[in-house]
Structure 1
Amino acid sequence: MDYTVYLHDSGILEWKINRPEKRNAINFNVIHGLEKALEIAEDDPKVKAFVITGEGETAFCSGGDLDEFHLLKTKEDAYAMLSKMGKILFRLATLDKPTLALINGTAVGGGCELAAACDFRIAKKGSKLGFIQGNLGITTGWGGASLLFERIPVHSALKMLMEAKTYYAEELIEEGFIQFVFSEVNSDSAHQFFKEMIMKDVNVLKCYKQSIISKWEENHLQERMNQEIRNCAVLWERDTHHQAVEKFRNK
């Protein structure tokens, strides 16, 4: 199974990408698994918080699986995949319960977009993170840039996106993208972070979350994410992207 989902007695629903041999890259099975986990998080009244992490000690998520997604050549093919994942990340961002990216290792490309869709991010010491899509001749394709602009100051977000380089988790605390860094991160870390929140009535948590969702409705977050995805699909079709992907895969 490419993913696991587990509801702790505390009310924390933990979803884990289980592809350590692929640095927890996202393929179509993982996309389906995140959809199923969100259904549980939305519908099960016992769920008070949702945590996303990766298996192993090396990678949280290395983004989209290039071995699988490189088969998508046209902007139409790319848009079908990109928009599907974009809708899921919008759904994650607007889940009416607190969400946490438990970053247990490298988070790059789409892995950073996944983390940006969460309300909070805590990371293992020394983890590297970066929106590196620009190095492959494309932009963020799942709405991650629009989400990042909601998380940290605009000038910092724009610099991260345009430079397309990686940063240590410790550096990103100052920018506000990472909330805490731990020597190790695991389920206990998630419980420690959520300790005070999950003691509250879930309806209190939902009301606070709805406040920020209302803000995003007013500033058209979903429409901005959709435009971002369309832009990426156009770039995806270009030879510049396909050549960069082949070069990366042949390293």
Structure 2
Amino acid sequence: MAYIIEKSEKGYLIFTISRSEKRNAINYAVMEGLTEAVKRAAEPDIKALMITGTGDRAFCSGGDLSVFHALHTKEEAYPMLSKMANILYELLTLPIPTLALLNGTAIGGGCELAAACDFRLAQKGIKAGFIQGKQAITTGWGGGSILAEKLSGPSAMKLLMEAELQTAEQLKETGFINSLYDDSPLQAGEEFIEKMLGIDLSVLGSYKRVWIRKWEETKLRERIEEEVRNCSILWESDAHIQYVKNFMRKKSQ
């Protein structure tokens, strides 16, 4: 299985990308798993959703280019980008707390997935970055628009426009990472949301609606759609096609 969904007796759901051999890259199976997790997280007995990856090398290395390299034109890329953007918007607007547990490196789309969660916890020493710019594309799953809601303008712009990996410690200074941990991701996540789990679900949902209403009023969904379309145009650029060719050549050596 490309993913695992487990329900804790403590009242939360945990979704684990189980593709350590691919550095937990997202393929269509993982997309379907995330869809299922978001649907299950809306059930009345779930108070939180945690997302992580297997192993200790990667939280998520973004989209699986060994799958998506077959998408050449904007017409071919748009459905994939739009599908994942829809999933991330549903994750973003869940009426419960959501946590990304960065157990390893988060690259590109992996950072977009993390950005869609309310909180991000990272293993000390790991690196993460919105490196899409070096692939000659932008964030294509809505991560740029979401990041603009989570960080100050200059901080978000710097992360996106420099397209560099940064340490968890550096990302904590910018506000992208909320907390660092040493040992078990799950233990860190449980400790982080322990007090929230003791609050009535209706209260958690009411507070989450404060942000959801803001995002609705500022037309975040429409801004994400524009981001997806812009990325699909860049997807068929010569620069991006050449990047993918170089990537696939290195993978085959």
**TM-score w.r.t. structure 2 length?**
0.98
Instruction: Determine the structure 2 residue equivalent to 1:196.
Output: 195
Shift of 1:152: 0.9
Instruction: Name the residue aligned to 2:158.
Output: 159
Deviation of 1:22 after TM superposition, in Å, equals 0.3
TM-superposed CA distance for 1:187, in Å, is: 1.5
Deviations 1:185-240 (A, max 9, x none): 42111110100000000110000000100000111110100000000000001121
Alignment of 1:139-218 (within 5 A): 139-218=138-217
Over the matched positions of the two proteins, sequence identity in percent amounts to 54
- Give the aligned residue type for 1:8: S
Number of paired residues?
250
**Within the alignment, does 1:54 sit opposite 2:53 as a pair?**
yes
- The answer for the alignment partner of 2:134 in structure 1 is 135
CA distance in 2, matches of 1:130, 1:170: 12
Query: Residue in 2 aligned with 1:223?
Result: 222
- Matches of residues 1-251 of structure 1 in structure 2 within 5 Å? 1-42=1-42, 44-251=43-250
Letter in 2 for 1:242: I
1:14 & 1:230 partners in 2: Cα distance?
A: 31
SS in 2 for 1:5: strand
- What is the rounded CA distance, in whole Å, between the counterparts of 1:234 and 1:27 in structure 2? 21
User: Alpha-carbon deviations, 1:75-118, whole Å to 9, x = none?
Assistant: 01100000000000000000000000000000010000000000
1:104–1:184 CA contact under 8 A, matched in 2: no
Cα distance in 1 for residues equivalent to 2:216 and 2:188: 32
Q: List structure 1 runs of 4+ shifted beyond 3 angstroms.
A: none
The answer as to whether partners of 1:125 and 1:170 remain within 8 angstroms in 2 is yes
In structure 1, list runs of 5 or more residues that go unmatched: none
Q: CA deviation at 1:67?
A: 0.2
Cα RMSD over matched residues?
0.7
- In structure 2, distance between residues paired with 1:95 and 1:72: 30
Give CA-to-partner distance per residue, 1:117-171, whole Å, 9 cap, x none.
0000000011111000011110000000000011111101101101100000111
CA distance in 2, matches of 1:228, 1:185: 35
CA displacement, residues 35-77 of structure 1 (integer Å, 9 cap, x when unaligned): 01111011x2110000000000110000000000000111011
| Contact 1:102/1:185 (8 A) holds in 2 | no
Q: Say which SS state the counterpart of residue 250 (structure 1) adopts.
A: helix
Letter in 1 for 2:122: A
Q: Which amino acid aligns with 1:37?
A: A
Counterpart CA distance in 1 for 2:54 and 2:116 is: 19
Do the aligned residues in 1 keep the contact of 2:123 with 2:185 (CA within 8 Å)? Answer: no
Amino acid of the structure 1 residue aligned with 2:29:
N
In the alignment, the residues of structure 1 paired with residue 93 and residue 24 of structure 2 have an alpha-carbon distance, to the nearest angstrom, of 24
Q: Take 2:104 and 2:184, find their aligned partners in 1: how far apart are those partners?
A: 9
1:183 Cα deviation (Å)?
1.2
Q: Which residues of structure 2 form unaligned runs of 5+?
A: none
- For residues 161 and 221 of structure 1, the distance between their equivalents in structure 2, rounded to whole angstroms, comes to 18
* Structure 1 residue 184 displacement after superposition: 2.3
Q: Which amino acid aligns with 1:134?
A: G
Q: Residue type of the partner of 1:36?
A: E
The code of the aligned residue for 1:16 comes to T
